[in-house]
Amino acid sequence: MTIRRNGIGMTSPRTRQRMIDRLREQGIVDEAVLAAMYEVPRHLFVDEALASRAYDDVSLPINYEQTISQPYIVARMIEVLRNSGSRPIRRVLEIGTGCGYQAAVLAHVFPEVYTMERIEPLYQRARKKLSDLEIKNVVVSYADGSAGMPGAAPFDGIIMAAAAPVMSAALREQLAVGGRMVLPVGRLEQWLYLVERTESGFRESRLEPVKFVPLLMGKA
């Protein structure tokens, strides 16, 4: 897969390398995740007026009351998904495509990615951006992701980019045995959770406090 990493000044490869150095300092150690974060040009997924802040460790608005997550949380969630179990992950479902940035990073790490977006303009934007960048192992769907994608299940991994008020039983059931899910849960107080499916049931681990936009139902 080839991505045109255009950009100068604040969007240059040197700027991206500073982001990777910061991620290392923040505790990200998975080299595959770090390589993917370096390779994907985050400045192309935000409005041009915000490009100079694209590699800062902040979330940024992408319109429609949605945001692109800060680089650390993207790296952290994918690292947890990759390294928390013994089963290798090939098929991943992402809930909440947004601008498509996290899907692009996932596509560099996993062979097969499915992603769902409920807001049509964001869906159209993400699909075009991923196509322009010649990322071919992502299937983008315009759909309500709150119930997952049962027609394509089971998945080795599920990652959610919006906070559900409670843990989703429907999404858990779409995990393959040995699969795992990383998602924020909560309303005012949100926590990142890891859910692992075993032969005998599910195991939940609360990881760290986070702040995400809320998971909403229905298409928009």
Query: Rounded distance, CA 139 to CA 35, Å?
Result: 22
Domain ranges of the chain: 57-210
Q: Which residue is listed with tokens 């926590």?
A: 191
Does the pLDDT value for residue 11 go beyond 70? no
Q: Pick one of 3.90.190.20, 3.40.630.30, 2.40.40.20, 3.40.50.150 as the CATH number of 57-210.
A: 3.40.50.150
pLDDT at 1: 40
pLDDT at 120: 96
Of residues 85 and 1, more confidence is placed in 85
Q: Determine the average pLDDT of the residues in 69-88.
A: 91
Question: So which residues are the catalytic ones?
Answer: 69
Of residues 71 and 7, more confidence is placed in 71
User: Mind listing the pLDDT tens digit for each residue in 145-179?
Assistant: 988 999 999 999 999 999 999 998 999 999 999 99
Q: Please return the burial class of 179, using the count of CB atoms within 10 Å of its CB with bins 0-12, 13-18 and 19+.
A: buried
pTM exceeding 0.75: yes
The two structure tokens encoding residue 170: 């429907």
Query: Rounded distance, CA 88 to CA 108, Å?
Result: 15
Percent of the chain residues topping a pLDDT of 70: 95
DSSP string across 74-141: HHHHHHHHHHSSSSPP-EEEEE--TTSHHHHHHHHHSSEEEEEESSHHHHHHHHHHHHHTT--SEEEE
